[in-house]
Structure 1
């Protein structure tokens, strides 16, 4: 039966592969097609049948490629990875629709399933209402150098996905089927002829534009639809919920244009431009929707009786056409359009198309536009036209409430070291006797508290400050201007990277005071000050840091102005690079447990912001399971998490897939908040065992990465890190400093590089050694204990599930070809066999604990995905290694460099969550 369900997927993959093959034949000639097809058949045979002759034939064919042939092969197999992704996404949509049409029981991750679970666990309708009245679920888009897709490529993929979806949803006549086939062929040809690589490095403005494309494609329409689903579901469960105007509990956040940590190109001018670009997207959408709504609401006086408020809105309209004199809704909407056009002109300095019927005053804020939309809604209800409130008007009302005039809240982020330097300079300029950098933590806190509550500004207009200080102050002035221009919701958060003490938070408070964002005379704060704990040591100290700052009366007063809620961000990437996969996950878990206790002690609401990446090595993995695996009390109705790199495209590039992913986040947050046993406290012996495993894994990981002589050289020569650093895939440098040290390397390219060579080392290394040592110390009951932990503790089982996924995508045979690039044979022979031994030990440990016979026994969907795509991925790895060898041996041919970068693109697409 499962095979029948997957038949449409296999047919889509075959058809797309056939169209790509035809395109290669037509564009590059019969020899190129035959070469690609021979490589494909050999790779499929090797993977399907473990055919050694096929492997030998594959390698000899690939090794003999000319430079021109290499480019053809790399392009063909890279594009196939993209096409396979489209087919898989479409199959997920297909299967979801089939379940809904067939009336299947609600599936895990759906809102219906979550509500069913919390009700069965004893929650009441009132509990549900309280949750949605105070919830916050916010995926936050970030720009990171693993997003290797050009927007033009994404547009081509969207066109192909739309054609596949149309074929699924309707029965085509022979003529329609023929036209659909022709359109699909054109779309694949367009993809083939669209340049995959960027000719120049991305600017921050380019990254902003890329991020905004997901609002046009998905968020502006699908977020309101999700709200409608929630509202209708709740109304069906509890009559008093009908017509309830729930707060905007789903928010799409954004770092692009505000994240300055390690990115010198994010300036005050860029932040202002980001705000302008975001507002343009929001206002343009509202204008278009209003224009269409006006054409639809053609209701006439005499046939309906609009409310007095609606008539007043119509009378105030600039529309004086006699043809619409008896159409009050159209006239009212024309007036609203004119006011919104004036708002567009005021905020953006640009006129609208089509132009309004006349001049009108601009809306002072988005709430005023919402009030007018509410008049339309209430009037329609009053004359029994409720169905007319549930279409475009409903979607537009919700969109304005969620997105406002600013579209998405932009987070500011900067490193604590920068704040320290800026504050030190400001203080010394104000009083040359003050040497802030020489002060200990207690003295810093005392001085900062005095400055924070002083109404006297630190900055003098008569002093010339350093470029760093002026740049940071300019950012904050721009933030304050955005608050006044759009709303404080436009820039609500300030995140402090590398937080390791209370002074790091107070430094930001002092700087916010300089911009008027913190007002000491009112004891008010217009921005959340958010510590980011990211190293192992900082995670361990996080509870003590928050306990100490909550003990400060001045900070408590600021919290009162923020509704006594405090956000804390947890860093998955750097903690993993610092301590390894297992220790990072465990220290994050323990930090959350401690934070829950500290926040409860001080009566402060905790909101966690999870800095997850796409890869398991950076906290990735299925969001639903990850949220449910949080410690009890850690998800208090509110959660934010980063969406990074190519994962943004995978989750939100397709509107249907995007809505489903947003629903999963809401469902998981609901369950984790209201379901009493969603994440029960682990037994003490589980905690002890996990601590022992973490200690052993930490020792193994640090021993390899930071204590093995020459490991840094091995990493740079056995992976594509050098080429990634040169690839035009992001505005941010690969390292924080100009060095090759692992400590200075940003976590994103660190993980991405290991994924490219198919080792995935940051997602598993150390676990095998840890289990071996644990079992050696507890030979009688150790394995049974670990098996019980896997069965009973969601944190541990989720950890193993994520490791299972990573190991299934790894391949030491392919990784060995990259290891051969290391110039020092002794270094290579000292490190690579050690990695392989740990890889084998980790797989054996995982299988023994889970009881699986093979990797992914418990995840048939991913196993199917790997079967479908890896025969097309392995040739890319093989060719990439050969290109790297030629490039590093001095070949200057631009085609070689281009081939390496195309292969990086294709491998990332094939792995899907490598960044």
Structure 2
């Protein structure tokens, strides 16, 4: 019944509104775009019917030109295709805004995964005290990354924000004006953004979305579970920040950039306090209180505009003084207004979001080698000699004695003290090491601090290994065991409260091992790292490097975390979000609050409401291992296929990602011209499969593994696993999401390609096997049958972008054949990337 009501509501407030405003949109007088709105449905129809009949994109687009236009020259046709792309891009923005505006109406306070729902369940099961106990030390941390999956420039993002509000109030006049503005606003950055640009773009969200949404959510938790601070700590929801600190593979992030971003974060939170304090003072205009708050306002002003130091402790001291006067002399009038402000100061400190540093272990080794050679002159020393000498070195390496990355790394480590002094210890408190697979990778970072003049007790930083490849995940147990036994590192951990954060990379894991194998290896790694951490008296926190689509660790995040059993440490949920995931999942106050709640309750449910489906039996475990190994072999064979990298290079958009000017970092690691699999970044890798509508990393090998067991007469075992394990069920449903966003008819033409036909057939056969067997397993008639909101959203978005996909494939085919204006066709491919990616925003 509720399902039917929501489906009808979606039809009314999303589908119908899109039709209405799209018709308004079609009649707007854009430059040279007057008749696009009338032509577009014809291209859409030609595409839909043509692919079902096995036509190629070239045949479809050429038939569109012949039947519906009188264009003769290639130049005229190219101009029309570019205009169609611009038009579709704006249709996507319109649909985004309508869907965002509908969010509060399509979600209820009592939905599964909300704080209200958690309270009701706990109340009925007599587990309120257990929930309060868990709330005492549980934390959710969302870390914003600069990974380039968002194609909207900031000017367009602001229009989306305003358009959402206009649609919420059904203001036709405002919508009309904003759509006109949208029609004339460029969607493309002329130049690549700098790391500072990326940071400022996300800081905008911190100020205008998260300051309020997190503050209000904290207040909501207090009200629902009882206004007692005995069970609630202000760090329950934390924010992390990578732009300006993540230098892994990004030569444009320097120590100077890191320093500047830390200043921008501090300035942003102080400005938020200053604005918030104006509202507080409007209510608390009483004698005594007013004077104290006036003094605080002046100090905030000086800290913002004169860069004077102001700690959160100092701010709270003023607020406590004001509170005392308010309670004693003014009957606690408007006390809640002051308390809410105090809570925000405790939550955000003077840092707003904690700025992480991240760098690749291979760069660290280069720094260690160069510093050792400079200080001791022996370039042939083995690692243990280097390490022992450097860790005991009593001097301080002078950064100016070195060049480039070595100099910058040392300056960066040396300035951490100053950043912590201004932003607070919480403002910068960890150093993440990409591609960790040995103890030395962690100890090298500890050594940096020692050679930079830090005493042991001055290293107020967590050192966080990131295990992301199959090899790294396999080594994780031995690495951490050795670290926990290392006398120097053991003392460091004691000073850090015996807590160790370990990061696990879903994106690169999936790229390396395939969907099922990567998820299982990460699950297994978490289990074994939980066990050895507990045995060594260490509280372990897992930090998940997750992306948007399931192939990069995304999918239904609440279901994923709620499916982890008691064998995995559940002290904190911490994950990265990026690009369109920021705008689509956490892009406005309502969505942000809802999705923070989903994460929070997923972690609490795991401890409070035990459920046999969360814990794997020995037989379930053996079956998943068997399936994972079969799928890994199938995926590994695909990776080893001689056409694998050439197919991505020649038939996909892989090489066009670097030309989109959406991110500051290069689209691949390594500086050579030759494209190697290991140098591929996960985002362009997964994104290229997505642009082909093949989504291979999200399913390949999974269906094959199940089919193998079915042929052995063991399908009932898999059915029991699906029914009995939430973890396995979540993987199946997320994989089905990947397949639902695939559309192989788009590339049917490749099956006849002399070079790549056989390779395409391998992909198509695996898709068909996976789809059929997963539908049989779940009993669904269609993919994503139970997730109707996401399914309907996907369906509308796929319809919007189908002509865009036709144009992109048309251009790729022209390039492959070497026909016509190749440079123009390359630009056409790059431009069509934008709308396709933006339309896929709900992939997470």
Which of the five TM-score ranges fits, normalised by the shorter chain? over 0.9
Q: Give how far 1:528 is off.
A: 0.4
Structure 1 Cα separation of the partners of residues 234 and 33 of structure 2: 59
- Residue in structure 2 matched with residue 108 of structure 1 by the alignment: 112
1:75-125 deviation per Cα after TM superposition (whole angstroms, max 9, x unaligned): 2222212222222222221122xx44xxxxx22110122344456666452
Matched position secondary structure for 1:19: helix
Q: Give how far 1:899 is off.
A: 3.6
- Residue in structure 2 matched with residue 381 of structure 1 by the alignment: 327
Matched position secondary structure for 2:614: coil
- Residue in structure 1 matched with residue 496 of structure 2 by the alignment: 562
- Residue in structure 1 matched with residue 397 of structure 2 by the alignment: 459
Q: Give how far 1:224 is off.
A: 0.5
Residues 814 and 822, structure 2, Cα contact 8 Å, conserved in 1: no
Matched position secondary structure for 1:500: coil
* Number of aligned residue pairs: 827
Match of 1:726 among 637, 659, 662: 659
Q: Give how far 1:196 is off.
A: 0.5
- Residue in structure 2 matched with residue 527 of structure 1 by the alignment: 461
RMSD of aligned residue pairs (Cα, Å): 2.7
**Using a 3 Å threshold, how does the CA distance of structure 1 residues 54 and 395 change in structure 2: closer, same or farther?**
farther
Q: Any residues of structure 2 matched to 1:703-722 within 5 Å, and which?
A: 703-705=637-639, 707-722=640-655
- Residue in structure 1 matched with residue 297 of structure 2 by the alignment: 337
Structure 1 Cα separation of the partners of residues 467 and 438 of structure 2: 10
Structure 2 Cα separation of the partners of residues 593 and 243 of structure 1: 31
Structure 1 Cα separation of the partners of residues 395 and 56 of structure 2: 74
- Residue in structure 2 matched with residue 69 of structure 1 by the alignment: 80
- Residue in structure 2 matched with residue 475 of structure 1 by the alignment: 412
1:479-528 deviation per Cα after TM superposition (whole angstroms, max 9, x unaligned): 22201232121111100111111111111111122335x523x4x53000
Residues 856 and 863, structure 1, Cα contact 8 Å, conserved in 2: yes
Residues 142 and 576, structure 2, Cα contact 8 Å, conserved in 1: yes
Q: Give how far 1:449 is off.
A: 5.8
Structure 2 Cα separation of the partners of residues 896 and 367 of structure 1: 58
**Using a 3 Å threshold, how does the CA distance of structure 1 residues 673 and 387 change in structure 2: closer, same or farther?**
farther
Structure 2 Cα separation of the partners of residues 19 and 51 of structure 1: 33
Residues 606 and 634, structure 1, Cα contact 8 Å, conserved in 2: no
Residues 269 and 348, structure 2, Cα contact 8 Å, conserved in 1: yes
Q: Give how far 1:275 is off.
A: 1.0
Structure 2 Cα separation of the partners of residues 334 and 260 of structure 1: 41
When normalised by structure 1's length, the TM-score is 0.86
Structure 2 Cα separation of the partners of residues 382 and 695 of structure 1: 69
Residues 768 and 843, structure 1, Cα contact 8 Å, conserved in 2: yes
Structure 1 Cα separation of the partners of residues 43 and 621 of structure 2: 50
Structure 1 Cα separation of the partners of residues 182 and 336 of structure 2: 38
Residues 197 and 901, structure 1, Cα contact 8 Å, conserved in 2: no
Match of 1:588 among 503, 522, 533: 522
- Residue in structure 1 matched with residue 37 of structure 2 by the alignment: 33
Larger Rg computed on CA atoms: 1
Q: Give how far 1:378 is off.
A: 3.8
**Using a 3 Å threshold, how does the CA distance of structure 1 residues 273 and 793 change in structure 2: closer, same or farther?**
same
Structure 2 Cα separation of the partners of residues 578 and 569 of structure 1: 17
- Residue in structure 2 matched with residue 905 of structure 1 by the alignment: 834
Q: Any residues of structure 2 matched to 1:533-682 within 5 Å, and which?
A: 533-677=467-611, 680-682=614-616
- Residue in structure 2 matched with residue 421 of structure 1 by the alignment: 366
Are 1:212 and 2:203 an aligned pair?
yes
Residues 483 and 490, structure 1, Cα contact 8 Å, conserved in 2: yes
Structure 1 Cα separation of the partners of residues 33 and 225 of structure 2: 59
Are 1:162 and 2:96 an aligned pair?
no
Are 1:87 and 2:98 an aligned pair?
yes
Q: Give how far 1:455 is off.
A: 6.5
Q: Give how far 1:295 is off.
A: 3.0
Q: Any residues of structure 2 matched to 1:178-217 within 5 Å, and which?
A: 180-217=171-208
Q: Any residues of structure 2 matched to 1:291-370 within 5 Å, and which?
A: 291-299=278-286, 327-347=287-307, 364-370=310-316
Residues 430 and 464, structure 2, Cα contact 8 Å, conserved in 1: yes
Q: Give how far 1:685 is off.
A: 1.4
Q: Give how far 1:676 is off.
A: 2.9
**Using a 3 Å threshold, how does the CA distance of structure 1 residues 617 and 768 change in structure 2: closer, same or farther?**
same
Matched position secondary structure for 2:346: helix
Residues 457 and 514, structure 1, Cα contact 8 Å, conserved in 2: yes
Q: Any residues of structure 2 matched to 1:744-755 within 5 Å, and which?
A: 744-755=679-690
**Using a 3 Å threshold, how does the CA distance of structure 1 residues 130 and 558 change in structure 2: closer, same or farther?**
farther
Point out the more displaced range, 793-802 or 628-637.
628-637
Match of 1:16 among 3, 21, 35: 21
When normalised by structure 2's length, the TM-score is 0.93
Residues 659 and 830, structure 2, Cα contact 8 Å, conserved in 1: no
- Residue in structure 2 matched with residue 352 of structure 1 by the alignment: none
Q: Give how far 1:381 is off.
A: 3.4
1:264-297 deviation per Cα after TM superposition (whole angstroms, max 9, x unaligned): 1110110011111112211112122223332332
Matched position secondary structure for 1:138: strand
- Residue in structure 1 matched with residue 387 of structure 2 by the alignment: 448
- Residue in structure 1 matched with residue 72 of structure 2 by the alignment: none
Q: Give how far 1:396 is off.
A: 2.5
**Using a 3 Å threshold, how does the CA distance of structure 1 residues 837 and 56 change in structure 2: closer, same or farther?**
same
- Residue in structure 1 matched with residue 220 of structure 2 by the alignment: 229
Matched position secondary structure for 1:134: coil
Q: Any residues of structure 2 matched to 1:813-824 within 5 Å, and which?
A: 813-816=745-748, 819=750
Q: Give how far 1:41 is off.
A: 5.8
Residues 268 and 474, structure 1, Cα contact 8 Å, conserved in 2: yes
Structure 2 Cα separation of the partners of residues 507 and 119 of structure 1: 50
Structure 2 Cα separation of the partners of residues 411 and 647 of structure 1: 20
Q: Give how far 1:772 is off.
A: 2.1
- Residue in structure 1 matched with residue 779 of structure 2 by the alignment: 851
Q: Give how far 1:789 is off.
A: 0.9
Residues 292 and 321, structure 2, Cα contact 8 Å, conserved in 1: no
Q: Give how far 1:630 is off.
A: 2.5
- Residue in structure 2 matched with residue 771 of structure 1 by the alignment: 706
1:23-78 deviation per Cα after TM superposition (whole angstroms, max 9, x unaligned): 2x56446533321243356668899xx89999999655546571222122212222
- Residue in structure 1 matched with residue 346 of structure 2 by the alignment: 401
Are 1:840 and 2:768 an aligned pair?
yes
Matched position secondary structure for 1:826: coil
Point out the more displaced range, 475-484 or 713-722.
475-484
Matched position secondary structure for 1:376: helix
Structure 1 Cα separation of the partners of residues 835 and 290 of structure 2: 51
Q: Give how far 1:848 is off.
A: 1.9
Residues 340 and 363, structure 1, Cα contact 8 Å, conserved in 2: no
Match of 1:794 among 726, 731, 735: 726
Matched position secondary structure for 2:830: helix
Residues 754 and 761, structure 1, Cα contact 8 Å, conserved in 2: yes
Matched position secondary structure for 1:836: helix
Residues 632 and 679, structure 1, Cα contact 8 Å, conserved in 2: no
Q: Give how far 1:590 is off.
A: 0.6
Q: Give how far 1:262 is off.
A: 0.6
Residues 503 and 543, structure 2, Cα contact 8 Å, conserved in 1: yes
Q: Give how far 1:599 is off.
A: 0.9
